Structure 1
Amino acid sequence: MSYDLAVWEGVRPADDKSARRAFRELYDRYLDGEVLEPPSERITAYVAALLERWCDITDDENETSPWSVGPLIDGASGPVVYFGMAWSRSEEASAYAAGLADSMGLLCFDVQEDRLRP
């Protein structure tokens, strides 16, 4: 089981209900379709920054990566990335991922809690 986050570019929604709606629209448009778009420059930079902290699970020889799937960039399309992490590492990794998104001017949506972070 994984703990999932979505990070995207855009204007911060007014509340969590609006964020949930925005997430669903982005997911349906960019991640659930048959053709994925290349990730935007900002999303690519965000994923690269995550991978500077912890390696991609596909390169994890020492089993230190919190990511549940890889390559991590495969969860990105256009202005959004959707990714999971192991429950056992989710507290630390999700806090870092949310803080990083905020520092880069991106929005972070916690799928389990159905709310924006931080």
Structure 2
Amino acid sequence: MSYDLAVWEGERPADGKIAGRTFNDLYERLIDAEVGPPPTERIAAYVAALLERWCDLTEDEDDTSPWSTGPLIGEARGPLIYFPMRWSMAEEASAFAADVAQSMGLVCFDPQLNKLRP
């Protein structure tokens, strides 16, 4: 079981309902696309910041990474990254991921609860 987060560039939506619609639109255009655009510089920088805290799953020899897929940058398309993390580490990792997103001026959305983070 995993916990998923979506992080994207753009203005912060007014509430979770609007964020959910924005996420669904981005997902359909970018993630569902057969060939999506490469990650933007800001999203690549965001992923790099996450990987400074925890290694990529592809480099995790000690089973300490919270990410459920690797390489993590592979989950990014253009201005969006939609990525899963291990349920057992989701509370700590998602709080960190949300804080990093906020510090970088990115939107962080929890699609399970349909709410903005943090």
Match status 1:110 vs 2:110: yes
Q: CA offset at residue 111 of structure 1?
A: 1.4
Identity of aligned residues (%): 68
- Alpha-carbon deviations, 1:50-70, whole Å to 9, x = none? 000000011100110000011
Task: Specify the alignment match of 1:82 in structure 2.
Answer: 82
TM-score, length-normalised on structure 1? 0.99
Look up the SS of the partner of 1:61 in the other structure. coil
Query: What is the CA–CA distance in structure 2 between the aligned matches of 1:108 and 1:74, rounded to whole Å?
Result: 18
Where structure 2 has 5 or more consecutive residues not aligned to the other structure, the ranges are none
Look up the SS of the partner of 2:89 in the other structure. helix
Match status 1:4 vs 2:4: yes
Task: Specify the alignment match of 2:62 in structure 1.
Answer: 62
TM-score, length-normalised on structure 2? 0.99
Query: What is the CA–CA distance in structure 2 between the aligned matches of 1:116 and 1:90, rounded to whole Å?
Result: 16
Figure out how many residues of one structure are paired with residues of the other and give that number.
118
- Alpha-carbon deviations, 1:41-91, whole Å to 9, x = none? 000000000000000011100110000011100000100001010000000
- Superposition misfits of 4+ residues, deviation over 4 angstroms: none
Amino acid at match of 1:14: A
Superposed CA RMSD in Å reads: 0.5
Amino acid at match of 2:22: A
